[in-house]
A and B are shown apart, each in its own frame.
Chain A
Amino acid sequence: MIRRNFHPFRWLNLCRFASVAWLTLICGAGTVAQTQPRAQSKAVSNSDATALPVKSLGNRNAPITMEVFSDYQCPSCGNFFENSLKYMIPDMVANGQVYFIHRDFPLPMHPYSYMAARWANAAAKIGKFEIVDAALWDNQQAWSADGNIEKFVAVAVAPADFKRIKRLMEGCESNPNAAVKPAAFSGTAQTDHGCPLDAYIEQDKQLAKQIPVTQTPTTVITYKGQRLQAMPGFVTWPILKQFLNSLLSQ
């Protein structure tokens, strides 16, 4: 019975089939390995364009959600970042107590604030919001003078990331100066159709209308699903911390 099943040709065929299959596998894997990086890079650039900008920091499920409506060129907003938010982020945001959301509310009186918001949104699309946001606030006075925001973004992020941000900024380069203002900067709700990033800024502005926000900075705090009264103006860190702690101790 055993002898009848054993046939040398059958074994030979099996070996041939196995070697062909093995070769096919190796070649296939090689081809995939060669084509994958190209496909991946294409996927990255596509995902950059379609990704939503993440302008938030911390744990989404934190008991306190803090939304700050800011204008990158407003001095009070700069003060608020430098004297309060800068301390809050490594403390209460990092500890999971506060979920921080940046909202854009560029005021028409500031010629470069809309452009700065575009850079921040582009950075947020590739997950570099925190660094670029800090760079914009830290150098607010410098870029407010001439509108050269790009210089500070380039320094803040890695060259590869800057390239990605630049790619996202394509069509958004029409720098709005005080003399020539596109519709998007004139205070109306219209967006510059060449710049896809404006949609996110306008979205924030629509949210601001609902609250309503009339000035910057305005802080909106939601505690366990309950939205508290909007707080306009700059608040120092010790007082802000005291307030947040009083909420947490409830």
Chain B
Amino acid sequence: MDLIRMPKAEKKKGITVGIPRSLLYFRYGVLWERFFQELEVRTVVSPPTNLEIMNRGSRRAASEMCLAMKIYMGHVEALIGKCDYILVPRIRDFGIRRVMCANFEALPDVVSNIFYEAPFQVLSYDIDSSKKKDERHAMVEMAVSIGFSHGRANKAYKAARKAQNEADVKQAKKTEALYRRKDLKLAIAAHSYVLDDEYIGKPIIKYLEDNGVTVIRADQVDRKQAMKESEKVSPTLKWELSREMVGSLAMHHQDIDGAILLSVYPCALDSMVNDMLMRKNKMAHIPILQMTLDAQTGTAGVETRLESFIDILKMRREVEAGNGRENEA
């Protein structure tokens, strides 16, 4: 009987990188997948959020974390056993007043501490202006750490960034066209990881569309222009994602019938930014619905609120149309 078994010499096979379909995946998904594709690294993306993923995530996460973080932990758990590495970037900031939510700064360490017994390694890249590290530097450094050459990583990054930029521009143009429509238009301001989430965000968009509303996503916008606009609305606003959304609303507030500020509980950024938006006179003339999503499983409450909000918008339109006719007469 051999009590000690020597490990079998393992054949050097390619590694697999797991990507959670949550948080920044919806912002950088193209970039990440293309980057690893160029490096010929296999990737596996977790399935779209469902009730089980959310519940498992809630169990893993600290109880006071926001819903998006809880869902993220569910996605990480779903990838266990399917990959050697899980991609969890650390993105602190891109410069002055271009800061990300503190969660994105802590994320790799939060994951490695919550899952410290799990059989995967956290693969991370670190964007931090205080260390003078931009996205290219950070991602190349990450590729080098798993054994790729600088040159190859650089090339992969260039191709990946180009693909992501093209996708972003295309999406922004498509969204921009919606503002010119004539029917009932509703801007929905929420982080992409809320709206693109199969379980919490998409049902809301679908419900609105089923009820004859043109839903326009505020986060899909010409980002540079939106950043500039946000400075006029709120000069010390420092969160990249909030600035894009505030700028987007400032650019388009005349073209919409109403807006929904959709947050997940308890979103730190939205807790302040939404209040600021409500205070700005510019916005005051459009009806705004503030809604917060928690880990609830029923949709009846949400639907009732959306329905009554749509009714208000429709009535407002009718009244305005009526006034227009009177003026003509």
Binding partners A and B: no
A-side residues, CB < 8 A to B, are none
